Amino acid sequence: MRYLSLLIVLAVVMGCQSTRNSSTPSPAGVETPAIPSTETAAPPVATLNNVSPPVEIERPAKPAEPEKLVAAAPTVLVKKPETKLPEAASAERVDHLMKAAECMEKQAPKEAAEHLRQHIAANPDQIMIRAYLAEMLYKMKQFDEAYWQFDRFTADAQEASGPAHEHLIHCHTRLMEMADEMNEGYAEHLHRGIGLYLLAKKSAKSVSDADEHLSEKLFLKATAEFKLAQKLSPTEARPAWYLYLCWTQLGQQEPSNKALKLAAELALTSNLTPSENQNLRTTVLATPGIRKKPTE
């Protein structure tokens, strides 16, 4: 406590001494050095005459915010790749087939047909399911749709092998029967002729004499059907194309070339299948004297 009182008294005395020194004038003839001030001198008062133009100071660019950088970047449109689910993950496809089978067990063919339609829409390459649907529709006498499904199957199966190709004769038979029911003479003769042609080709693969004679008779019967179809629809190329195939199998070059030339002339305005069109094009280009291309 004594030390604290002493310090206070000492501070008061020093303060008084400092005050006395600052108020005492300097002796005569002795200049008191000026104490440099630590404060910055005030700038001169600006007037209209001495105002200098403002100096623009280049400031560093403010970095853009991340959001603005993204927004300013050019937009690049990238097409999202289609994700194809593996076969095991396609639950919808499996469900439609299972539901179709369940409907058939319950004797509900209409519901089963609808499930098969859904399955085929998602899997158009499974042509044997299409053939099964077409047969179901045929038995329900829904000939319009059944005809379309059978016709689509035959177009897809022409270049196929195995069960699909073997099923072609049956499908053309069904198409012939439905054409007869719907009074479509051209289609009836056309599909009967194609069915006979396929039977003749199948028989021609045998080495027995009996099968060889049978195949020749079948080819001749097929040509008769194609001629009838040609009379009913003279602007269609399919009868002419199959006439060419039959005459070629029978070794008749003159009628064969004539039919090929006619098929080439009518191809542009006819309903050839993709396989028939491609085969006709290839044959025309490889045959001397037939210069007109079937399609472009």
Assess if residue 12 is contained within a domain.
no
Assess if residue 160 is contained within a domain.
yes
Instruction: Tell me the CATH number at 134.
Output: 1.25.40.10
Give yes or no for residue 70 having a pLDDT over 80: no
Tell me how many domains the chain contains: 1
Dihedral sign from CA coordinates of 115, 121, 124, 130: positive
Assess if residue 167 is contained within a domain.
yes
Q: How confident is the model at residue 143 (pLDDT cuts 50, 70, 90)?
A: very high
Contact indicator for 262, 240 with CB cutoff of 8 Å: yes
Give yes or no for residue 135 having a pLDDT over 70: yes
Domain span at residue 118 reads 91-183
Contact indicator for 132, 249 with CB cutoff of 8 Å: no
Assess if residue 114 is contained within a domain.
yes
Assess if residue 229 is contained within a domain.
no
Higher pLDDT, 256 or 94: 256
Give yes or no for residue 294 having a pLDDT over 60: no
The predicted pLDDT at position 208 comes to 72
Q: Which of 252, 253, 277, 250 is nearest to 263 (CA)?
A: 277
Q: How confident is the model at residue 239 (pLDDT cuts 50, 70, 90)?
A: very high
Assess if residue 2 is contained within a domain.
no
The predicted pLDDT at position 130 comes to 96
The predicted pLDDT at position 56 comes to 46
Give yes or no for residue 60 having a pLDDT over 90: no
The predicted pLDDT at position 292 comes to 53
Give yes or no for residue 175 having a pLDDT over 60: yes
